[in-house]
């Protein structure tokens, strides 16, 4: 009886350790510009620049307004790191709820152009 109980507990513990937990998504804290976000996860905060796109000239204010509408504070996002530039993380950013890529949204809105990813 005791051996069966220990075996059952061992199996349950193994299943619990192997069970995939919910991924801790990053949250948008602030939209700084048309390409720069302040994002946090847990107790850390990152400056994140949108990768794989370049803003169309003279559309900085419109792109910033678009991002603020699309990414209100506390919006959960996924980050796919693509490198870094001057200490700022370059990443593809997508909404956790829908999976929509933010750079693609800016491009479709005519505020940015696609660029080769690093």
**pLDDT per residue as tens digits for the range 55-89:** 998 999 999 999 999 999 999 999 999 999 888 99
Is residue 3 included in any domain, yes or no? no
Is residue 1 included in any domain, yes or no? no
User: What is the pLDDT, as a whole number, of residue 38?
Assistant: 96
Is residue 17 included in any domain, yes or no? no
Is residue 97 included in any domain, yes or no? yes
Is residue 19 included in any domain, yes or no? no
Alpha-carbon distance of 3 to 11, in angstroms, equals 12
pLDDT band, very low/low/confident/very high, at 3 (cuts 50, 70, 90): confident
Single pTM value for the model: 0.76
Rg of the Cα atoms in the chain: 20
* Residue pair 34/111 in contact by the 8 Å Cβ criterion: yes
Residue 86 CB contacts under 8 Å (≥ 6 apart), including other chains: none
Bridge partner list, 15: none
User: Could you give the number of structural domains in the chain?
Assistant: 1
User: What is the pLDDT, as a whole number, of residue 77?
Assistant: 95
Q: Which domain holds residue 91?
A: 24-114
**CATH (domain of 59):** 2.40.50.90
Is residue 92 included in any domain, yes or no? yes
Is residue 12 included in any domain, yes or no? no
């Amino acid at each position: 009886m005791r051996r069966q109980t220990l075996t059952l507990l061992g199996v349950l513990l193994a299943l619990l350790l192997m069970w995939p937990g919910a991924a801790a998504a990053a949250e948008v804290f602030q939209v700084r510009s048309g390409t720069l976000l302040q994002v946090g996860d847990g107790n850390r905060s990152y400056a994140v620049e949108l990768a794989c796109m370049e803003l169309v000239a003279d559309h900085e204010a419109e792109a910033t307004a678009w991002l603020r509408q699309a990414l209100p504070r506390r919006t959960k996002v996924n980050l796919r790191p693509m490198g870094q530039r001057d200490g700022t993380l370059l990443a593809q950013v997508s909404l956790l709820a829908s999976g929509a890529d933010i750079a693609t949204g800016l491009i479709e809105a005519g505020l940015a152009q696609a660029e080769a990813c690093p």
